[in-house]
Amino acid sequence: MRKRLEIFARLLIGALVIGGAVILMTQEYENARAYYQTKCQEEMAKVLAGHQNQNRPSADECQNAEEYMPWRYILIAWPTGITTWAIIVTLVVVGWQSWETRKSASAALEQIQLIKEKERARIVVTVLRPDQINFGFIGNRIDIHIKNTGFSQAQNVTSEGKASVEVKGFDPAIGPDIEDLALPSVMRPEEAPVETWVWFSIPEEWSEEIGIANPSITIRVRGTVQYEDIFGDRHATPFKLVLTHPRTRKWIGNDAAETHPFSRWHEDGQEENRAT
């Protein structure tokens, strides 16, 4: 009730202010009209006195206020001037309402986007460190765990990845091209991580020479997981990581070597690992 009274009071005050302004402007206009009409008639009297009858100006020359009054008074005249101001005020109000509408719509869109960001699916990729390095056909498997840590399911999930190895002082080892990873098309947030993997190999004939030279070894893994959230937006989680280990320490047979602990995976470029 109090709020309604406040609104009514504001409307009443506004109406009184506008009404008072109209009355004052009308009074000002009438006073100015009488003053300038008198001056116009005085000047016309001088002009009429200097012309012959056939060329004399009309006596109606000072009847139209727009012909002799300054524009600042014409703009407050009733009804043309007030109508002009009413149109201007209306356009201002319409523009203000449009701005408020756009502002409200923008705020609503921001709120919707915040809700979508909170409720959407979010895929996280974890690459595990290998325990040892194998030589020859058996190759080396690097396990990858992929989990939806969001609050809704990810759908139309696809992924690809590859691993490569670089042994210092040796030619690059031949590795597989990037290939599709085995993932379900739908991943729900409450499910356990999906396990998949990539692999690389080091030629068996390098094993003896590597055992003698003790070179550093760099392993790189790269790939991406693409998916769609329940709102229909597409997202991607790329991963481009690199890992090294300092030196090989002791060999076990021809196919496996006990090594120093590997370093942790770290990003191989910040932009390449930016998820959307």
Which string of DSSP letters, residue by residue, matches 202-241? --GGGHHHHHHH---EEEEEEEEEEEE-TTS-EEEEEEEE
pLDDT per position as a tens digit, 26-40: 666 666 666 666 666
User: What Rg do the C-alpha atoms of the chain give, in angstroms?
Assistant: 42
CB 193 within 8 A of CB 217: no
Q: Kindly report the pTM of this predicted structure.
A: 0.60
How far is Cα 116 from Cα 110, in angstroms, rounded to an integer? 10
Most confident of 17-26, 94-103, 260-269: 94-103
- Band of residue 197 on the pLDDT scale cut at 50, 70, 90: very high
Tokens read off for 234: 């597409």
pLDDT above 80 (res 253): no
What is the reported pLDDT for 276?
85
Average pLDDT over residues 79-97: 70
